[in-house]
Amino acid sequence: MNPFRVSSGRRAGQRFDAQHGVVTEALIFLGELDPHAIGDALEDATHYEPTPVAQFESMLDALPMPVNGFTFVDIGAGMGRVVLLASTRPFRQAIGVEVSPALCETARDNLVRWRRAKPDIPCKDLRIVHGDAGAYAFPPGDLVVYLYNPFGEATLERVAERLAQRDAGTCYILYHTPVHRRIFDEHARFHAIADLGFGLIYALPSMPRSR
Ligand SMILES: C[S@@+](CC[C@H](N)C(=O)[O-])C[C@H]1O[C@@H](n2cnc3c(N)ncnc32)[C@H](O)[C@@H]1O
């Protein structure tokens, strides 16, 4: 049962939930959910709203390479909808990072239901990590990092810098509703490679190893 009463009303999202027995379609302001459990990150956080299914699929389709061997990371994962969707592609692993404990709980519950209903999904290693994305240490290797306008400039600067400092592995950033695109546009290491109107894709090439 959906414990959250406010719904964004997006029919396709509601259909997705009904078809798959999960709870992802909602519009939730963190200050009304579990503000005390979130701490300082609350100040820079946006609300929870899931990515429309078709738009997320379009962003993945616009990637210039096969995703085999890449790890998918959703920064600000909410109830985990895009982690579920990413699992239908051959990523090595799909991770959602979320600051709200209540949303993490729902996302983990969704993962259990999804796995039970879909034992044959191509990506079986799915995780929800609780924490502030600004302090998140990205896993090694090739990454696809997804952002659906999760927070303001201060936190995004920290995330972008952590990515830019990685010394191995290629990284693609999918930035939906890119309110703070300036951070990537003005950074020497990120290159915009596609513009879908509702979102941008940036490439962060692997840093050449010093000999
Ligand atoms: C617009 S929702 C996107 C949800 C999900 N990525 C999707 O596309 O369906 C943004 C999410 O970012 C989370 N968030 C905000 N600030 C955060 C932070 N500092 N660390 C981790 N998650 C954060 C919010 O709690 C919210 O769930």
Q: Pull the structure tokens for residue 194.
A: 């596609």
Provide the domain count of the chain.
Answer: 1
Residue 151 lies in a domain: yes
Has residue 211 been placed in a domain?
Answer: no
CB of 49 shorter than 6 A to ligand 1? yes
Return d(Cα 167, Cα 194) in angstroms, integer.
24
pLDDT at 39: 87
Q: Which domain holds residue 65?
A: 11-204
Tokens of 170: 């290629």
Closest to 83 measured CA to CA, from 47, 142, 122, 128: 128
CATH number, domain containing residue 107: 3.40.50.150
Tokens of residue 141, six digits: 């290797």
Question: Is 110 close to ligand 1, i.e. is its CB under 6 Å away?
Answer: no
- The answer to whether the CB of 81 is under 6 A from ligand 1 is yes
State pTM to two decimals. 0.94
Residue 90: inside a domain, yes or no? yes
Q: Which of the listed residues 16, 49, 132 should we mutate to test ligand 1's pocket, taking the one with most ligand atoms within 8 A of CB?
A: 49
At residue 59, the 3 state secondary structure works out as helix
> Distance, CA 62 to ligand 1 centroid (Å)?
22
Residue whose CA is at the smallest distance from ligand 1 atom 12: 76
Closest residue by Cα to atom 9, ligand 1, is 50
Please report whether residue 81 resides in a domain. yes
Does residue 5 form part of some domain? no
| Residue ranges in the chain modelled with pLDDT below 50 | 1-8, 211
Q: Which residue has tokens 């936190």?
A: 155
134 CB contacts (<8 Å, ≥6 apart)? Answer: 41, 151, 154, 155, 158, 159
Give the per-residue pLDDT at 10.
83
Output the CA 152–ligand 1 centroid distance in Å: 11
CB 158 within 8 A of CB 134: yes
Sheet containing strand 191-195, strands side by side: 126-130, 93-98, 71-75, 143-148, 171-176, 199-204, 191-195
Does residue 103 fall inside a structural domain?
yes
Q: Is residue 112 part of a domain?
A: yes
Is 1 within a domain? no
